[in-house]
Amino acid sequence: MNFLMVLLMSGSGGGGRESMGIFVWIFLLIGIMYFFFLRPQSKRQKEHRTMLQALKKGDRVLTAGGIYGTIVGEKEKENVIIIKIADNVKIEVAKDRVVQKA
């Protein structure tokens, strides 16, 4: 915050070039935030969507709740998968709650 105050105060000298410098710094800061925060997050989301679309019967998965299991079925209309976690124990999990293939 203090950095921005110094930039703003230094640009109030009355010249047009100084005020233009402030805008350059602001756009530079926005660009840095995009490349360090927003772009990696959207990349991770895209990878997760691709992984979810590639899930099939027999895949071993880990859910967001920490449960490991094997996919034995899917309800596509409801966006739910059926996971077998033990002998004769099956649970239904929202497909987007699968974190990774195990």
> 58 in the Ramachandran plot: left (φ > 0), alpha (ψ -120 to 50) or beta?
left
Residue 34: per-residue pLDDT:
86
14 to 8, 17, 29: CA distances (angstroms): 12, 9, 23
DSSP element (H, E) containing 101: strand 98-101
Return the ∠ at Cα 46 (arms to 85 and 66), rounded to 5°.
25
28 to 23, 25, 31, 40, 72: CA distances (angstroms): 8, 5, 5, 18, 50
Residue 13: per-residue pLDDT:
53
Residue 21: per-residue pLDDT:
82
Show pLDDT as tens, one digit a residue, over the chain (102 residues): 556 565 556 555 555 667 778 888 999 999 898 888 888 888 999 999 999 999 999 999 999 999 999 999 999 899 999 999 999 999 999 999 999 998
Residue 20: per-residue pLDDT:
79
Residue 71: per-residue pLDDT:
97
Residue 38: per-residue pLDDT:
85
Q: Structural domain boundaries of the chain?
A: 2-50, 56-101
| Number of helices (H), then strands (E), in the chain | 3, 5
CATH topology of domain 56-101: SH3 type barrels. (2.30.30)
